[in-house]
Amino acid sequence: RKEVEQDPGPFNVPEGATVAFNCTYSNSASQSFFWYRQDCRKEPKLLMSVYSSGNEDGRFTAQLNRASQYISLLIRDSKLSDSATYLCVVTDSGGYQKVTFGTGTKLQVIP
């Protein structure tokens, strides 16, 4: 089983749609979880941390389910500018040492 697994997509959605991505992780000792965004041939950029209680940042909501070992990202009211690859990131040390990235889920928002 891969350490961090994501559906690669692509998810093609119309503007204004709601889209959700899931990510599963294999290491039950994992402590910290994040969603990153990566535009084509660019560096990853932090989108949001994922807390046990769930968290929301504008149109973005992240959830963590430790029992089932998955995290999710919900994007509401999709914009064209949301088109990117969304990377699930897991670490067992808060990110001070090894960090494991998922392969990413590609989102294409269509006009």
Where does this chain bind another protein (CB under 8 A)? Answer: 32, 34, 38, 41-46, 49, 87, 89, 91, 93-104
Query: Which 3 state secondary structure label does DSSP give 52?
Result: coil
Q: Is 104 exposed, middle or buried (0-12, 13-18, 19+ CB in 10 A)?
A: buried
Is 25 or 102 the residue whose CB approaches another protein more closely? 102
Is 9 or 17 the residue whose CB approaches another protein more closely? 9
Is 9 or 95 the residue whose CB approaches another protein more closely? 95
Nearest to 69, CA basis, from 100, 110, 28, 33: 28
Torsion of Cα atoms, 91 then 93 then 96 then 102, to 10°: -10
Minimum gap (Å) between residue 37 Cβ and another protein: 11
Is 46 or 110 the residue whose CB approaches another protein more closely? 46
Minimum gap (Å) between residue 52 Cβ and another protein: 15
Please state, in angstroms and rounded to a whole number, the distance separating the CA atoms of residues 103 and 68. Answer: 20
Minimum gap (Å) between residue 64 Cβ and another protein: 15
Nearest to 107, CA basis, from 56, 53, 35: 35
Minimum gap (Å) between residue 18 Cβ and another protein: 26
